[in-house]
Amino acid sequence: MYVAALAAVPVAGSAADRPNILFLMSDDHAAHALGAYDGRLAKLDPTPALDGLARDGMLFENAFCTNSICTPSRATLLTGQYSHVNRVTTLSGHLEGDRQYVANLIRDAGYQTAMIGKWHLKREPSFDYYCVLPGQGSYFNPVMRESGRPWPDNLRRFSGYDSSHSSDAIVKASIEWLARRDRKRPFFLMHHFKAPHDNFENAERYDFLYEDASVPEPASLWKVPNHGSVSTDGAGTSIGKRNARRNMGHHMFVDPELGAEAYKRTAYQRYLKKYLRTVRGVDDGVARLLAFLEEDGVLDNTVVLYTSDQGFMLGEHDYIDKRWMYEESQRIPLLVRYPGAVAAGSRNDDLVNNTDLAPTLLELAGVTPPSFMQGRSVVPLLKGRRLEDWREATYYRYWMNYAHHDVPAHYGIRTKEFKLIFFYGLPLDAPGARESTTTPGWELYDLRRDPREARNVYGDPAYAEETRRLKHELLRIKAEIGDTDEKYPELMAIRQQHW
Ligand SMILES: [Ca+2]
């Protein structure tokens, strides 16, 4: 079952020969809120420690999630499968222990395994040790469920100067576990921050960070793009409406008596600063973990990966939150540091998605990824190889039709040059369902000319040939990964009508 993992790693004769794996994940940390991704927020220097990971290792420029919502992303991470295969399509999904494949296979390969922080998959984590927040958990004085003891003795409350904030508590629990680990065996630690999930809360020490700064605004905060061929009522997309009940000002307690422009400007500044203060807590936590490993003498024999369960809209398109297939929400940061085999400062622009994470973690541990995993290990890419048969389009599907933030269900593909989205708008039978949910619509973006997705070119005759090609590719991928519309007669009927 074992294979040679990375060039610098000896062929695994025993577990002791293999690298430690520290998998760091945050919640809703958009790539454009990392300095290393060099977006409009980079000049605020939001993530010095994470930028260090990019300097020392590889940054993936085109990494994406396949369903931009918490629980499904985590299920994909552990199974290497798309949502329709692991059946965790929505927030109400869960993952039984026997399907937590990454944890089980790496433990079986001789690693000691731990899951610390936000879990959100409801069932018991299948790790040697766990210390996890129940559900979303609390930002302050969090209670976590710890393995090895029956309820209620398994509840541990974190408080005090070093752990009253959830990011500090999760770092403390990880460092404690690392300090008492069995040094004869390599470790696999999944360290998952709750931050910066909304409603953002930073530790008190960041209260004045960025106080005098002015956070750059995206142009689309003011000039909402015309996405729509179906509806152009300023809602921002063909059928998705802006949710007046959940907006930046609502979150930040901005005085609604301010004029519209001042309200938006004030809300944006407060919202972004609060988010970036919460991000800084994550970054400082990463710095502390890396410092611990360095002091422990194992940093360079540890593969350190950093990602987020999905991206986040920070005022782009005048939106907040995730769920959308738009770039800010679909894209995830992905950084990998492993000095023995990954060149410092290297970058890769292949289309990677979060089904690839599980096979990657397995190969790093010297385990051959099982064929039921749908993603592909990026280990060859880490070594600087170009694979001619790497995917040319990445699939996306958001299932929760109008469940939160008024985001309609949709699916689509993104290539390096184009993005095609189909808002299939299944009718809702829920009380209060809106007429708009039954209005399907297509969007097409030419990312070469329009990387911010400001102009929907679906229906433009100049793109007719490209549209046909992309639709064909969309159907091909849906068949390949087993998410065909034939399984859903109602959806199939809509598609046939609007193809
Ligand atoms: Ca999330």
The Cα 194–Cα 196 span in angstroms is 6
Banded pLDDT at 11 (limits 50, 70, 90): very low
- For 297-309, give one letter per residue: b (16+ CB within 10 A) or e: ebbebbbbbbbbb
pLDDT for position 427: 67
pLDDT for position 15: 53
For the segment 43-55, the average pLDDT, to the nearest whole number, is 98
Expressed in angstroms and rounded, the spacing between residue 70 Cα and the centre of ligand 1 is 4
Expressed in angstroms and rounded, the spacing between residue 136 Cα and the centre of ligand 1 is 10
User: Lowest mean pLDDT: which of 255-259, 297-301, 303-307, 353-357?
Assistant: 255-259
pLDDT for position 237: 42
pLDDT for position 454: 86
More confident residue, 205 or 261: 205
- Site of tokens 């699939």: 395
According to CATH, the topology of domain 394-498 is: Arylsulfatase, C-terminal domain (3.30.1120)
For the full predicted model, state whether its pTM sits above 0.85.
Answer: yes
Expressed in angstroms and rounded, the spacing between residue 433 Cα and the centre of ligand 1 is 25
For the segment 8-21, the average pLDDT, to the nearest whole number, is 63
* Ion ligand 1, residue ranges at CB < 5 A: 27-28, 70, 309
Residue ranges matching CATH 3.40.720.10 in the chain: 18-201+276-382
Mean pLDDT score of the chain: 91
Expressed in angstroms and rounded, the spacing between residue 309 Cα and the centre of ligand 1 is 5
- The pLDDT of residue 405 is above 80: no
Banded pLDDT at 4 (limits 50, 70, 90): very low
Pick the CATH number of 18-201+276-382 from 3.60.130.10, 3.30.360.10, 3.40.720.10, 3.40.50.450: 3.40.720.10
- The pLDDT of residue 331 is above 70: yes
Which run of H or E residues covers position 450?
none
**Residue 323 near residue 400, CB atoms below 8 Å:** yes
pLDDT single digits (tens) 293-328: 999 999 999 999 999 999 999 999 888 899 999 999
Give me the phi and psi of 496, to 5 degrees please: -60, -35
Give yes or no for a cis peptide into 48 (omega within 30° of 0).
no
pLDDT for position 64: 99
Which run of H or E residues covers position 344?
none
DSSP label at 201? -
Expressed in angstroms and rounded, the spacing between residue 137 Cα and the centre of ligand 1 is 13
Handedness of CA 247, 332, 458, 471 (dihedral sign): negative
Banded pLDDT at 227 (limits 50, 70, 90): low
Angle at alpha carbon of residue 111, lines to 107 and 112, rounded to 5°: 85
For the segment 402-430, the average pLDDT, to the nearest whole number, is 85
Residue ranges matching CATH 3.30.1120.10 in the chain: 394-498
